[in-house]
Amino acid sequence: MSDTGTRLRPQILPKVARPRLHKVILLNDDFTPRDFVVMVLKAEFRLGADQARRVMITAHQKGACVVSVYPQDVAETKATRATDAGRAKGHPLTFTTEPEE
């Protein structure tokens, strides 16, 4: 087949902005049981047992830990659902979001 000449040359390819990803951040507190934090990380963020434990311990020791990154709407929904799961059991467990640099 002959070349139809419709292929865009690299220098005139349109630039498509990739939506910025947002981080979900787990905050430490003095009250939520460690096992509950691990359970929420596994259920809401689909982390394996080892990774969930590592994230929990990092937040416990450093004050906060990035859980994962997602498109903004997904990050906000997951942070809200995970925070609400703690509130439903009377825990102050908190997840926040912020745009990735």
Q: Kindly provide the b/e burial profile for residues 55-77, where b requires at least 16 CB atoms within 10 angstroms of the residue's own CB.
A: bbebbbeeeebebbebeeeebbe
Q: Provide, rounded to whole angstroms, the least separation between the CB of residue 100 and ligand TYC.
A: 20
- Cβ proximity to ligand TYC, 54 vs 74, nearer residue: 54
Q: Provide, rounded to whole angstroms, the least separation between the CB of residue 82 and ligand TYC.
A: 10
- Cβ proximity to ligand TYC, 24 vs 26, nearer residue: 26
Q: Provide, rounded to whole angstroms, the least separation between the CB of residue 59 and ligand TYC.
A: 4
Look at phi and psi of residue 86 and say left if phi exceeds 0, alpha if psi is from -120 to 50, else beta: alpha
Are 97 and 79 in contact, with CB atoms under 8 Å apart? yes
Write out the residues near ligand TYC by the rule CB under 6 A. Answer: 26-30, 32-34, 37, 56, 59-60, 93
